[in-house]
Chains A and B, each alone.
Chain A
């Protein structure tokens, strides 16, 4: 990116939508000045906008966001089996490991997830501006859930009969932190198809965090979510399978994995915010198909295309599967070339799961 040391003063008083128009349609100098002016507005979505307007993928996101050398800032709290957040602070950045394995798992998992995002996509934490990462463990009594509350991650201990504990699986920690990333970017509505995309993006990057930590290529990875948190004796391998949605478990207590593998089996329901943890199986499988078709480390190409799409300002909060698929095709083409194996893999994957990509995106 060429450095620009001055700002056109008139741009400072222009409203953002006009700056966007100039950034899209002005002369080269006007475009750069408009983008620079937009870049001084430290709103969450600015980095996405600048990123795209500058041709997106030729500009490192870190540079567009103007972030300094990234530093992890982790703080782990202990709820002591209460549901009062955040709880007592028990380990902060740089502290030595403690006796409590849940605390250390959360601390290490946040570190691995931070490292993943920075190493793979030069992203500086949840908001790409070095946001401190907070997690609370031992939430509730034998609590069978982990969630993101908009500000931090929260992990239950599990009941030990079915779930061993929600910090035990790196993909779970990566999943929850990615909800924060999505909230900082497209902020996909947590309902229906956009909600299922929100869930799927958390599964995709949660799995990639684990794959990178284990140095696994796409053909070796298990493509399972939550494999490490099921107790022995459960009839299942995990909570979700990205490779074969609907096959992760079939257990007397948990029932049968209801995830569909394609649009023909899309489940219409009002529960679970319109089936966000169910229909996520469809985009999950699309990602798996792209990653395995391209081979190698999944975070390099398939992950990059999905990450580019998440940051693409054209990805609306209300996006459905088809509009997300279109943008993956566009971003695959933009980064790796139109008609290349990458774009072909993207188009083939969405076709397999029954999501139609528009001809303009496919071209």
Chain B
């Protein structure tokens, strides 16, 4: 009996640790808004052995995610959880933002999801929305800096 339990622990059985997430990367694009393409934002979250980090296109924006934040985001982006994040749009908002999200898993597959302003907030959607706004503000702030 004890031998069987030890073997399960050594082998990493279900009681020993959580199943490893297949999520390797999250790509996201914010588009729309009254200004249209002028306020577009694109970012990528990379998950690796050293944790998670996000960077953005067209800027040097870079941020290391806190371990708990990275784990939560990775869990929320799991393809199995994505279906729950897809909330039908209310369809009434005009000039709202659109968020296109693509989750790349270890098998190389891409799982996509589109959220729109006015949709019911989900944890993944809220994170993407907040991060897109952070990237945009970084771009705006970078404008103030003296250009090389």
Binding site for B on A (CB under 8 A): 142, 144-151, 159, 161-163, 166, 172, 175-176, 179, 183, 190, 198, 202, 226, 239-240, 249, 252-255, 257-258, 270-273, 276-278
Contact = CB atoms under 8 A, between A and B. Distances in A.
Contact of A249 (B33, B38, B100, B117): B38
Contacts of B117: 147
Given A159-B137, A271-B100, A145 B34 contact: yes
Given A161-B143, A270-B100, A271-B29, 9 more contacts: A144-B39, A144-B136, A145-B35, A159-B137, A163-B35, A183-B92, A183-B94, A239-B36, A253-B143
A151 B90 CA distance: 12
A149 B143 contact: no
B37 interface: yes
B146 to A, nearest CB: 13
A249 to B, nearest CB: 7
Contacts of B37: 255, 257-258, 272, 277-278
24 contacts: A144-B35, A145-B39, A147-B34, A147-B93, A149-B92, A166-B34, A172-B34, A176-B34, A176-B94, A176-B95, A198-B94, A239-B34, A254-B38, A255-B38, A257-B38, A270-B100, A271-B31, A271-B32, A271-B98, A271-B100, A273-B32, A273-B116, A277-B32, A277-B36
A141 to B, nearest CB: 9
Contacts of B40: 255, 271
A282 to B, nearest CB: 14
A145 B32 CA distance: 10
A189 B144 CA distance: 39
B111 to A, nearest CB: 15
B97 interface: yes
Contacts of A175: 34
B39 to A, nearest CB: 6
B148 interface: no
Interface in B30-58: 31-40
B96 interface: yes
A217 B136 CA distance: 38
Chain B interface residue count: which class? 20 to 34
A157 to B, nearest CB: 13
A272 B36 contact: yes
Given A147-B117, A198-B94, A226 B140 contact: no
B143 to A, nearest CB: 5
A163 B136 CA distance: 13
B98 A202 contact: no
A341 B37 CA distance: 37
Given A144-B33, A144-B136, A239 B38 contact: yes
A167 to B, nearest CB: 12
Contacts of A258: 36-37
Given A159-B140, A253-B143, A277-B36, A190 B91 contact: yes
Closest CB pairs A-B (n = 10): A150-B92, A277-B36, A271-B31, A147-B95, A179-B94, A254-B38, A272-B31, A148-B94, A272-B32, A145-B33
Contacts of A271: 29, 31-32, 40, 98, 100
Contacts of A270: 100, 114
Given A149-B92, A202-B94, A161 B144 contact: yes
Nearest to B100: A271
A226 B94 contact: no
Contacts of B136: 144
Contacts of B141: 161
A190 B95 CA distance: 10
A146 B34 contact: yes
Contacts of A202: 94
Nearest to B91: A190
Nearest to B90: A150
B40 to A, nearest CB: 7
B22 interface: no
B70 interface: no
Best-surrounded residue of A162, A176, A183, A277 (most CB of chain B within 10 A):
A277
Contact of A278 (B33, B36, B95, B139): B36
A253 B32 contact: no
A255 B35 CA distance: 12
B93 A253 contact: no
Interface in B106-120: 114, 116-118
Given A148-B93, A150-B93, A270-B100, A239 B137 contact: no
